[in-house]
Structure 1
Amino acid sequence: MTQLSRRGFLAASAAAMAAAQMPRLARAQSAAPIALAAASRTLDIDGRAATVFGLAGPAGQGLVLDPGQRFRVYLTNTLDEPTIIHWHGQIPPNAQDGAPNTAPLLAPGETRSYDYETRPGTFWMHAHVVTHEMNLLAAPLIVRTPEDLTADRQEVMLFLHDFSFAPPEEVLAEISNSGADHGAAPAKAGMAMGGMPGMDHGAMGNMQGMGGMAMDLNDYDFDAYLANDRTLSDPEVVQVERGGRIRLRVVNAAAATVFWIDTGAVAARLVAVDGDPVQPLTGTRFGLAMAQRMDFEIDLPAGGGAFPILALREGARDRTGIILATPKAEVRRIEPMADAEAPAFDTGLAQESRLMALHPLPDRPVERSHMVMLGGAMQPYVWTINGAVWGQHQPIAARAGERVSLMFHNMSMMGHPMHLHGHVFQVVGLNGRRVAGALRDTVYVPPMAMVEIAFDAGETAPWLLHCHHMPHMATGMMTTFSLTA
């Protein structure tokens, strides 16, 4: 586990950081462009070798940039198939966004350059090809603040995945075949996110709610749930100081799994979501939908010990995580299955209603409003925006510079983490109640719920707007937010 600051950081060299454990976040250097590669790698998952993808920087998976440092990167595709990488939560020029609707995929062996002004905070980068993201082609992207360099604290990364030993193409084929019995369209595995119909449910976790209707929580049972590429059979043990302060950065990079982050015996202060500061909230359990991030501060007891930080799969007993341990602390084995199922996440928007931006958007009248209807069902397994799948969609239109409001109205029985490329928005309404909520780039819309966001429209271009649940996006839950001058 990378440890980026506190007393040890102040004395550490870049070489020492490069020797840190997975996921080694490469400390980017000065003005020279950084080499980043989409590449294959091998993991040991529960004693079995697994060949997956990754994003290799100068010192391992992922990148860390210093305050104010531009994102100057040469990305090389060393895979034997085309791919494209999206810089999730950052706001590059549209042509550098890493979206297949505005840029061609990188051919095998091709190198492409990127250069844009960064936003500080906890972000991530991932393939915008469905089978590649399912094969772990993702990594952290951290942009430090000046406080990160001077604060007396240790930084810890928790990067979450769901994983299947079967190749993603086989997983998609299996899901598609099970859905074909109900009339679902067959999957076209490997297509870029931007033109890829086809996924259906595998195993489902159901929960009664919404007036007695069945709420569908999980539509596939993965073989493993990973924290920093490892399971609880061999978790990462992060060495920490007695009485020290931790900055824990959590990224949910899973394809189709919502997690509860459980800090157990140590209370955590939630201080940022999706890279932007919030008014601090204290607790021990927080929900995190796909593509969302959370930053926590944790003050460790002076007496020391071992402190598991667990990620619990929504609606199931599966769990993964890391362990924070002081010197000579006893580290006990944690079973990968909990005694009880974790509950459904934020069905009443209770968590989202408690989040308030530390630096909200300036007050402005809304000049453009759209209702965005989220629909779909398990049988047939097809998910839509405004009643249409990708390729048959009508763009959501606005003019650059306008204050825009989007009201997501989920009329389905599954939750949808909705991600808007190229923008930061504020949550301003929850089930018809006005709030001064968090700044985000990905907001979770529970079943039969309404969430309103507001933002200032950016560059004149077609920006993707989609659900970050991979099977939902794969069956068409994507459109464009198209801006004109």
Structure 2
Amino acid sequence: MQRRDFLRYTSLTLAQAATTRLLPAQMPMAQDHGSTPAPEGKADYTLHIAPVTVELAPERVISTIGYNGLTPGPVLRMKEGKPITVDVINSTDVPELVHWHGLLIPAEVDGVEEEATPFVPPQGRRRYQFTPRPAGSRWYHSHAMAFSDLHKGAYTGQFGFLHIDSGNDPGQYDQEIFLALRDWEPFFTTFMDDTDEEGQNDPQLEKPAVLNTAPNGLEVNSMTYSINDKSLGAGEPIRVKEGQRILLHLLNASAIENRRIALPGHKFRVIALDGNPVPSPQLVETLFLGAGERIDATVEMTNPGVWILGATEDPIRAAGLGIVVEYANQHHPPQWIKPSTLRWDYAIFSAPEGTHPTPPPDHTFDMTFEKIPSGSGKFNTWLVNGKPYPHENEFVLQQGARYRLIFRNRTDDAHPMHLHRHQLELTEINGRKTSGIIKDTVVVPYYGRASVDFTANQPGLTLFHCHIQQHMDFGFKALFRYV
């Protein structure tokens, strides 16, 4: 039986409605959760790592590791430029790390083993102190390695939204809603139903002339999904009124796959990518988020009814990746209509030609991505420039210099590439020039090419990796160093 068929037959009971637990835009933070006060005094926030149970649906309850008894963890709201402290209490028996994704902070608090951030010890605690910046939608999550253990790292429920307020938010919306796309109960398989090619019509600039046809190694898959902590068919809907404007903060918190979603009868006005305002906001019918990416979008509520916001793939949506949007005084069953297009294109958000000139880089790193099927025993090995991690002294940065990274993806997967502690300006996607699009995670299309620029202004070790956990674990990362 094919994966799509299996999903269709095992998930029908979840497809009758579409609801979820909504995360409030401002959640009060408990400070201790039964722990003793930190010797340094009371922290601004406390995260307590411990086992949690998650009722995705009445007939499906899972056990995982989360923050403060929740998954996603609490929404952390911070003010840009105001120093904060976070106490992390680890009530598990394994060392942990909390990574502050998208923040410009020192390596010692970035929450990454490769950058020499200290672990939060088992049954211990650690205090993080940093000044949050830049403003926008960020997030936090475990950065522990998992390898063949699907109960560790990003496969667990250790993730949550972090929003940094600039103080200049005009507040031109009626509701602010945080939605995390998530898969659960991962398993190993040789069969992957990859949908990265959907909606992509670009030339495959990096497709090898001769493809590697060796049998693929085991990869990670899932058949259980949710938005926040509820699968399609459980929890509360998003309740709206005609004429309202809704601000959505969307996060792909998956450790496994990129995701595509739509809201029938409505369009998303994309205003920010990875928390950074785009030069040219655009109306789109479909959103595409690589693992680790965020999108901020407003939606004008002008089409009364009861609609499903969810995955564009029928079996994925039926297996839980969806949520109801319910207008006032509308009580009929939720409706799904296939979007007219699945097209997603970073380039449409670029600054108009000539309005945002991109300075030339001082240095360029050419980076070729390849896969060795079953190169790590049962699993695939991932290479950058012919080698797996760590790339000692290969990517050395000079303070203040501008660098261009050219990503050449010679694999049949679209890879969400993340550079820690720096901001990336997308300068090219599959041969099309762009400018002004600032991100921290960029999806490189399968057999495609992308280029990004950044300024080396964050001294210290800096990790670069694919944000799909298994790819990172099995070689798909590199360590950047400053002179």
Fold match, TM over 0.5? yes
Match of 1:86 in 2: 99
Match of 2:287 in 1: 286
AA aligned to 2:350 is M
Mapped pair 1:72 → 2:85: yes
CA distance in 1, matches of 2:294, 2:87: 25
CA distance in 2, matches of 1:446, 1:23: 31
Change (3 A) 1:404 1:67: closer
CA distance in 2, matches of 1:146, 1:116: 19
8 Å CA contact 1:394, 1:479 repeated in 2: no
Match of 2:308 in 1: 308
Change (3 A) 1:334 1:108: farther
1:226: how far off?
1.3
AA aligned to 1:123 is R
Q: For residues 444-478 of structure 1, what are the alpha-carbon distances to aligned partners after superposition, in whole Å with 9 as ceiling and x for unaligned?
A: 01122111100111222110000011121121101
AA aligned to 2:409 is N
AA aligned to 1:42 is T
Moved over 6 A (4+): 206-209, 211-216, 314-317
- Worse-matched range after superposition: 92-101 or 35-44: 35-44
8 Å CA contact 2:361, 2:403 repeated in 1: yes
Change (3 A) 1:149 1:111: farther
8 Å CA contact 1:204, 1:219 repeated in 2: no
Identity %: 24
Change (3 A) 1:135 1:57: closer
8 Å CA contact 1:26, 1:60 repeated in 2: no
2:181 to 143, 160, 184: 160
AA aligned to 1:105 is F
Change (3 A) 1:364 1:322: same
Match of 1:438 in 2: 437
What SS does the corresponding residue of 2:312 show, helix, strand or coil? Answer: strand
- Worse-matched range after superposition: 255-264 or 415-424: 255-264
What SS does the corresponding residue of 1:296 show, helix, strand or coil? Answer: strand
CA distance in 1, matches of 2:346, 2:293: 12
- Worse-matched range after superposition: 305-314 or 110-119: 305-314
Unmatched 5+ stretches in structure 2: 1-19, 31-41, 147-151
Match of 1:115 in 2: 129
Match of 1:125 in 2: 140
AA aligned to 2:399 is A
Match of 1:33 in 2: 44
What SS does the corresponding residue of 2:368 show, helix, strand or coil? Answer: strand
CA distance in 2, matches of 1:57, 1:252: 21
What SS does the corresponding residue of 1:460 show, helix, strand or coil? Answer: coil
Please list, as runs of the form range in 1=range in 2, the aligned pairs for 1:328-339 lying within 5 A after superposition.
328-330=329-331, 332-333=333-334
1:355: how far off?
2.1
- Worse-matched range after superposition: 304-313 or 224-233: 304-313
Q: Which has the higher contact order (CA 8 A, sep 6+)?
A: 2
8 Å CA contact 1:270, 1:295 repeated in 2: yes
CA distance in 2, matches of 1:27, 1:230: 21
CA distance in 2, matches of 1:53, 1:148: 34
Please list, as runs of the form range in 1=range in 2, the aligned pairs for 1:3-402 lying within 5 A after superposition.
21-24=21-24, 26-27=27-28, 33-46=44-57, 47-56=59-68, 61-66=74-79, 68-101=81-114, 102-118=116-132, 119-129=134-144, 130=146, 131-148=152-169, 150-164=171-185, 171=187, 174-175=188-189, 201-205=190-194, 210=204, 219-234=219-234, 236-278=236-278, 279-301=280-302, 304-312=304-312, 320-330=321-331, 332-333=333-334, 351-356=345-350, 363-380=358-375, 381-391=380-390, 395-402=394-401
8 Å CA contact 1:53, 1:132 repeated in 2: no
CA distance in 2, matches of 1:435, 1:271: 16
1:409: how far off?
0.8
8 Å CA contact 2:410, 2:446 repeated in 1: yes
CA distance in 2, matches of 1:457, 1:313: 40
1:275: how far off?
0.6
8 Å CA contact 1:266, 1:307 repeated in 2: no
Change (3 A) 1:324 1:53: same
What SS does the corresponding residue of 2:386 show, helix, strand or coil? Answer: coil
AA aligned to 1:125 is Y
Instruction: Report the count of equivalent residues.
Output: 423
Match of 1:4 in 2: none
CA distance in 2, matches of 1:314, 1:432: 32
Match of 1:17 in 2: none
8 Å CA contact 1:56, 1:62 repeated in 2: no
- Worse-matched range after superposition: 320-329 or 258-267: 320-329
- Worse-matched range after superposition: 86-95 or 237-246: 237-246
1:32: how far off?
5.7
Change (3 A) 1:124 1:431: same
1:22: how far off?
4.3
